[in-house]
Homo-oligomer: A and B are copies of this chain.
Amino acid sequence: MKIEKGTKFLIVGLGVIGGGYAKALTKAGYTVDAFTKKASDVLYAKEHGICRKVTTIVDKKMVEEADMIIFALYPHTFIDWVKEYGHLIQPKTLVTDVTGVKTEVIEKVNALLPRGVEFIAAHPMAGRESSGIEYSDDEVFHGANYIITPTIKNSTEAICACRDLGKILGFAKISILSPAEHDRMVAYLSQLTHVIAVVLMNAENIEGLEKYTGDSFRDLTRIAKINDAMWSELFLMNREALLSEMDDFLSVMEKFRALLVAGDREGMRAMMRVGTARRSLFDKPKKGEAKTPAAK
């Protein structure tokens, strides 16, 4: 399929990401239907005009009508949904997702989907520390990164349609990685950072600490406000990659610790200069700055 003027989207899951996708696609003029578990989401979606039809029960006709189905669920809920309702999906419908781990999810979903239904996986590198549709915001995608993780089973047509979806949603950089590369990258860039934030918040319990803090601590722990159900699931599904990143981090920390113990000022400064130089690559493009139009 190719995304065109009349393309019909079905979003399964109206959380903070699914809700943001619905807002962006409706604003861009597409027809967007959605399934959600919570009745209050239906009200919210209707009040804010972000979907055409929204239901809490899986409507066969809505599934059949969709040209592209976007799953915005927790990994195990996504797999369970496909197990129960996957047979309703029509051949030619393109399936994509927003799931934060790829290898295991892609394998399981592909095994469950009916013949002729193509699943092209993708991961929007944008989110919020709060969950729920009321926190959804399509602006978070602007300037953010979008990763498509095709396998050998995917057609170039599906990859291009997925890239077009990323563009419509407003992502600045759209990249392609294998599921395994993605899971390693995400272990470092996203899962390890969440582990650090949680560990840092657990490392001290002094009352009134917030009276003394500066912004560096606030920034490092923003994501310690964490959706524990979702992230524990993501960590366990990507356990080997995450453990490997944690071990790299721990060993570099031990190295820095040894420099401090030894009073090795120059050794510490050398590591700080590496940090400064590498970090400068990571600044977010300002609004209106050049977007990278194509996948790598």
| Chain A interfacial positions (CB closer than 8 Å to B) | 125-127, 144-145, 147, 173, 175, 177, 182, 185-186, 188-190, 192-206, 208-226, 228-229, 231-233, 235-236, 239, 242-243, 245-246, 248-250, 252-254, 256-257, 260-261, 263, 265, 268-269, 271-276, 278-284, 296
Contact = CB atoms under 8 A, between A and B. Distances in A.
Copies in the complex: 2
Given A126-B214, A197-B216, A239-B263, 20 more contacts: A125-B214, A177-B212, A190-B214, A190-B217, A193-B216, A193-B217, A197-B275, A201-B274, A204-B245, A220-B223, A221-B275, A224-B275, A228-B269, A233-B265, A235-B260, A236-B260, A243-B257, A243-B260, A243-B261, A246-B257
Contacts of A220: 193, 196-197, 219-220, 223
19 contacts: A125-B214, A188-B209, A189-B209, A193-B216, A193-B220, A195-B253, A197-B220, A198-B272, A202-B274, A209-B281, A213-B282, A215-B284, A219-B223, A221-B279, A221-B282, A225-B276, A228-B272, A239-B261, A250-B257
A211 B204 CA distance: 34
